[in-house]
Amino acid sequence: MEKSQEEVLWQTILGEIELSMSHATFATWFKPTELLSIQGQNLRVLVNNFFAKNQFEKKFDEQIKQILRKNGFSSPTIEYIIKGKRATKEETVSEKTSSSPTEPSTTKNPTGLNPKYRFDNFIVGACNDLAHAASQAAAARPGTKYNPIFIYGGPGLGKTHLIQAIGNEILATKPDWRVLYATAETFGNEFIDYVRFKKNRDFGKKYRDVDVLIIDDIQFIAGKKSTQEEFFNTFNTLHQADKQIVLTSDKPPAEIPGLADRLRGRFQMGMAIDVSLPDYETRSAILEAKAAALGAHLPTELIEFLADQIRTNIRELEGALNQILAYSEMRREEPTIELAQGLLGDIKNSRPKHITARQIIDKTASYFDLQISELCSPARDRYITEPRQMAMYLLRSEIKMSFPKIAHELGRKDHTTAIHSVEKIEREIKINARMREQISDLRERLYV
């Protein structure tokens, strides 16, 4: 192989230097070096560590320059670079943006947005495709399409990811737009500081002088009269100016207790969409995407195992994945199902190992304030039949019970009733947000 210009020059220099010093000195300092680049008169030399850098700068610099002058450099300058630093630094930055499982830090960034939340790393499934589509529409045409966008659902289901993605997407296409993300708690605290301690003089300006306002966990302002009043005014100012407003909550507007009616009305003006528990396929896809983002490879069985074990929310799913990856990195062991079982013992043990048919029926009945006898009775009132159908659906989806057994458990004679019910709910949850929510609530209750 032909030698590069750098290699040839460096060998010339080393050859001459070797003659001027003891073998040990040469071996210690010069052997591990490399000439990285020549740019005009400027050379960049790779050295071992900062002791070497120091030594070269203070002791060898002039000697090397003298040789360079003999080799056609009139006024050489040399930059000494420590090995490994350049490459890993870039790595550190990119790792940080993708791997931190903690809440975004909002202290330094004036927009409050965490750049790691983007649409392209949001996994879409049946549980969130509507919310995802609406968010994308809002990001594409902010302030015009749906205003406000109100996304609701349980903890750890990706609400924050979605709404921050709206902000990041808008900033990517319209860098001069003022986008502000804050939690309702921050909004409330800053408001109190402003009123009580006369701090944050630009409070009103901060929230009203924006093109896009994104407020997370809006249910926090419920029950706080003056904070709600302030938010109401902020909302109106922005809405009238066609500024995009994005909100999240753990419940739909109609169900947030202690929320002023006029705010409730405002929140329902645009589009209120839920995100629900991801199904098995979505959970697997999330795990795969997350592992890929971390540069890890997980065996398919392990992904299937985790997706099957952890059903409550995405945060817990990612937590388990991070834990397994950290362990396997530390022990230098391949991640396996056995490893996951050992490590996640606490997650599994904290919930019933086997959900029984009885538990599903119990929980469904109590969720809908029904007696078990009512649920299993022949009654055909709608307020009983629907819960009954949902119980059948859960018996099928959660414990894979056979249709004849499902029918039997709920006091039906014919298993086609069970088939019909399960299919009906499967159809229904795709189009009916209320029912989707009830099912995911029920699931959560089963597993918590």
Could you tell me if 40 and 95 are in contact, meaning their C-beta atoms sit under 8 angstroms apart?
no
Determine how many CB atoms are found less than 10 A away from the CB of residue 218: 25
Residues 260-299 vs other proteins: string with x where CB under 8 A? ----------------------------------------
In whole angstroms, how close is the CB of 292 to other proteins at the nearest point? 16
Q: Is 329 an interacting residue with respect to other proteins (CB under 8 A)? A: yes
DSSP-assigned letters across all residues of 267-323: HTSSEEEE-----HHHHHHHHHHHHHHTT----HHHHHHHHHH--S-HHHHHHHHHH
Q: Which stretch binds other proteins (CB under 8 A): 89-97, 185-193, 223-231, 270-278?
A: 89-97
Among candidate residues 309, 414, 302, 314, the one with its CA nearest the CA of residue 355 = 309
Residues touching other proteins, count (CB under 8 A):
43
Q: Does 155 bind other proteins (CB under 8 A)?
A: no
Amino acid at 282: T
Q: Is 391 exposed, middle or buried (0-12, 13-18, 19+ CB in 10 A)?
A: buried
Q: Is 114 in the site for other proteins (CB under 8 A)?
A: no
Q: How far is the CB of 28 from other proteins (least distance, A)?
A: 4
> Which C-beta is closer to other proteins: that of 108 or that of 196?
108
Site for other proteins (CB under 8 A): which residue of 258, 342, 352, 411? 342
Q: Does 54 bind other proteins (CB under 8 A)?
A: yes
Quick one: 12 or 336, whose CB is closer to other proteins? 336
CB of 98 to other proteins, least distance (A): 12
| Interface residue with other proteins, options 19, 330, 431, 448 (CB under 8 A) | 330
Identify the residue among 198, 201, 331, 382 touching other proteins (CB under 8 A): 331
Distances (CA, A) of 313 to 160, 319, 377: 13, 10, 34
Q: What minimum distance in Å lies between the beta carbon of 186 and other proteins? A: 16
Q: What tokens were used for 372?
A: 């078990």
- Closer residue to other proteins (CB): 101 or 411: 101
| Binding of other proteins by 58 (CB under 8 A) | yes
Strand 42-47 relative to strand 34-39, pairing: antiparallel
Which of 19/24 has CB closer to other proteins?
A: 24
CA distance 277 to 280: 9
Write out the H or E segment, with its range, that includes residue 46: strand 42-47
* Range list of β-strands (E), 124-237: 149-152, 179-183, 212-216
For residue 200, what are its two tokens?
A: 């944050």
Q: Which is nearer to other proteins, 322 or 359 (CB)?
A: 322
**Binding of residue 345 to other proteins (CB under 8 A):** yes
Given the rule CB under 8 A, which of 7-15, 56-64, 199-207, 296-304 is the region that contacts other proteins? 56-64
Distance between CA atoms of residues 369 and 410, nearest Å: 17
**Least distance to other proteins, CB of residue 50, Å:** 4
Residue 360 interacts with other proteins (CB under 8 A): yes or no: no
CA dihedral 59→64→65→69, nearest 10 degrees, is: 150
* Near other proteins by CB under 8 A: residue from 119, 194, 232, 327: 327
Report in angstroms how near the CB of residue 193 gets to other proteins at its nearest. 19
Taking only Cα atoms into account, the Rg of the chain, rounded to an integer number of angstroms, comes to 31
Spatial strand order in the sheet of 77-82:
34-39, 42-47, 77-82
Instruction: Tell me which residues touch other proteins (CB under 8 A).
Output: 24-25, 27-28, 49-55, 57-59, 82, 84-85, 88, 91-92, 95, 99, 101, 319, 322-323, 325-327, 329-332, 338-339, 341-346, 349-350
